[in-house]
């Protein structure tokens, strides 16, 4: 490759714990350790914008004040992602609902507590995403509090890919806690092999693996954050109508798409929509594919998705 000084077979990997998860960027073709490190550092930059649980983040400040003038690059990133989240909210009948912040904060998957019903009910009163206004210069929440946990990793993965491509990287995997975005192909001209976990499987049991070129693979699953109380499974993907974990017979949804933010928004949205409605939505979209695992470990494919399995 012109301008590429990386010796054949050399890879550069950087990793860290950001966005509440393990992140890793591996460069296979052109690149350098410095580029890999900078890619991972971008997670820290965006975490300081999007993490609504950190009081000093740009989002936490917006949630607190209720409105924001878009003045800095950080504000622009925040306004941009809020706008994308609202757009996918509309497309999924608000199954993806970034205004669920008051309900999601009630659920504590570290101390494993089930919130009081009254707390959940009062949290839902202030969930009105259609009242959020975003323009180039302002964001107005009009009583809402935003949680971007369902959409941020995809957005950040896309930004990292943009950076890598600008730097001339032609083959890489960006892994943000299982939210995968591939850059180009593997150097041996084979597809990247992306394994998707068997929900509640033993160790690293694989449900299926996919052959991927230059695309994103994002999975939302009940097994990512959950606990049992009185034999009831409580997990982190909430039904916006009830404020309780979505209970619709699905264990996970995997989305294959070009942009990772599309995959991240859609996999959470499709999970909440349930199998039938989600398949219709995905089949109506171009170049987006979904693979579902239900609570009997059945695997269900949207049109064309099975072709990626290898």
| Chain contacts with Mg ion (rule: CB under 5 A) | 150, 264, 268
State the nearest-atom distance from the C-beta of 108 to ligand AMP, in Å.
11
State the nearest-atom distance from the C-beta of 10 to ligand AMP, in Å.
33
The number of beta carbons lying within 10 Å of the beta carbon of residue 1 is 11
Give the residue with the Cβ less far from ligand AMP, 161 or 235. Answer: 235
Q: Contacts with ligand AMP in 81-140 (CB under 6 A)? A: 96-98, 100, 104
Question: Residue written as tokens 């990997």?
Answer: 13
Rg (CA), the chain: 19
Which partner from the list ligand AMP, Mg ion, none does 104 bind, CB cut-off 5 to 8 Å by kind?
Answer: ligand AMP
H or E stretch at 86: helix 73-91
Give the residue with the Cβ less far from ligand AMP, 6 or 95. Answer: 95
Q: Contacts with ligand AMP in 228-257 (CB under 6 A)? A: 236-238, 240
The number of beta carbons lying within 10 Å of the beta carbon of residue 136 is 9
| Beta-bridge mates of residue 234 | 227
* 199 touching ligand AMP, by CB under 6 A: no
> Is residue 216 within 8 Å of residue 258, measured between CB atoms?
yes
Which partner from the list Mg ion, ligand AMP, none does 101 bind, CB cut-off 5 to 8 Å by kind?
Answer: none
Give the residue with the Cβ less far from ligand AMP, 29 or 245. Answer: 245
Beta strands in the chain (DSSP E): 12-18, 21-27, 67-69, 133-134, 138-140, 171-176, 179-184, 192-197, 206-212, 216-221, 226-229, 232-235, 250-257, 289-294, 299-301
> Is residue 14 within 8 Å of residue 24, measured between CB atoms?
yes
State the nearest-atom distance from the C-beta of 273 to ligand AMP, in Å.
10
Which partner from the list ligand AMP, Mg ion, none does 262 bind, CB cut-off 5 to 8 Å by kind?
Answer: none
* 150 touching ligand AMP, by CB under 6 A: yes
> Is residue 206 within 8 Å of residue 196, measured between CB atoms?
yes
Rounded to the nearest 5°, which phi and psi values hold at 142?
45, 50
Residue 180 DSSP SS3 = strand
How far does the chain reach from its first CA to its final CA, in angstroms? Answer: 29
* 220 touching ligand AMP, by CB under 6 A: yes
Closest chain position to ligand AMP (CB): 149
Which partner from the list ligand AMP, Mg ion, none does 98 bind, CB cut-off 5 to 8 Å by kind?
Answer: ligand AMP
Query: By the criterion CB under 6 A, which residues form the site for ligand AMP?
Result: 96-98, 100, 104, 147, 149-150, 220, 224, 236-238, 240, 264, 267-268, 272
């Amino acid at each position: 490759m012109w301008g590429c000084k990386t010796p054949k077979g050399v890879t550069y990997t950087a990793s860290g714990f950001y966005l509440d998860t393990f992140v890793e960027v591996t460069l296979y073709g052109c690149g350098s350790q410095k580029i890999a490190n900078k890619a991972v550092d971008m997670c820290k930059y965006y975490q300081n914008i999007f993490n609504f649980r950190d009081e000093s983040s740009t989002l936490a400040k917006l949630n607190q004040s209720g409105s924001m003038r878009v003045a800095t690059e950080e504000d622009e990133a925040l306004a941009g992602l809020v706008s994308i989240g609202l757009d996918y909210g509309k497309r999924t009948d608000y199954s993806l609902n970034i205004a669920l912040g008051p309900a999601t904060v009630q659920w504590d998957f570290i101390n494993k507590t089930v919130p009081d019903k009254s707390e959940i009910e009062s949290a839902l009163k202030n969930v009105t995403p259609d009242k959020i206004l975003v323009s180039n210069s302002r964001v107005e929440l009009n009583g809402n509090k935003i949680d971007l946990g369902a959409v941020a990793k995809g957005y950040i993965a896309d930004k990292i890919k943009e950076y890598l491509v600008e730097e001339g990287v032609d083959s890489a995997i960006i892994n943000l806690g299982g939210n995968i975005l591939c850059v180009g192909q593997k150097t041996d001209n084979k597809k990247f092999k992306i394994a998707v976990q068997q929900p509640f499987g033993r160790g690293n049991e694989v449900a299926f693996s996919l052959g991927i070129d230059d695309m994103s693979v994002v999975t939302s699953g009940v097994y990512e954050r959950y606990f049992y109380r009185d034999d009831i499974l409580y997990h982190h993907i909430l039904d916006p109508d009830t404020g309780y974990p979505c209970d619709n017979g699905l264990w996970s949804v995997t989305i294959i798409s070009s942009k990772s933010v599309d995959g991240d928004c859609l996999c959470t949205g499709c999970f909440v929509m349930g199998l039938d409605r989600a398949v219709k939505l995905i089949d109506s979209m171009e170049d987006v594919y979904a693979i579902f695992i239900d609570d009997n470990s059945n695997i269900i494919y949207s049109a064309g998705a099975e072709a990626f399995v290898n």
